[in-house]
């Protein structure tokens, strides 16, 4: 009967460790995705400024 308690505690500990590892992986993936989204939004912003600047030059000519 004692071994059932030990097995339950070990199983719960292993489950918590797996959840911790998955949480760390998720955090790393979200951080990488946030960097990619930031780079893409900066590229879009620069492209929009380029288009707006190009239109402004055409209007003034």
Lookup result for tokens 């979200």: 30
pLDDT in tens, 14-41: 999 999 999 999 999 999 999 999 999 9
Q: State CA 2 to chain mean position distance.
A: 44
Domain ranges of the chain: 22-61
Give burial (CB, 10 Å; 0-12/13-18/19+) of 58.
exposed
Q: pLDDT band at residue 54, thresholds of 50, 70 and 90? A: low
- Supply the pLDDT for residue 59: 44
- Supply the pLDDT for residue 50: 82
């Amino acid at each position: 009967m004692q071994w059932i308690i030990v097995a339950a505690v070990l199983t719960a500990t292993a489950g918590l460790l797996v959840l911790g590892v998955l949480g760390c992986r998720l955090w790393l993936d979200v951080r990488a995705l946030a960097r990619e989204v930031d780079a893409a939004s900066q590229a879009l912003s620069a492209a929009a400024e380029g288009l707006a600047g190009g239109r402004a030059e055409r209007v003034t000519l």
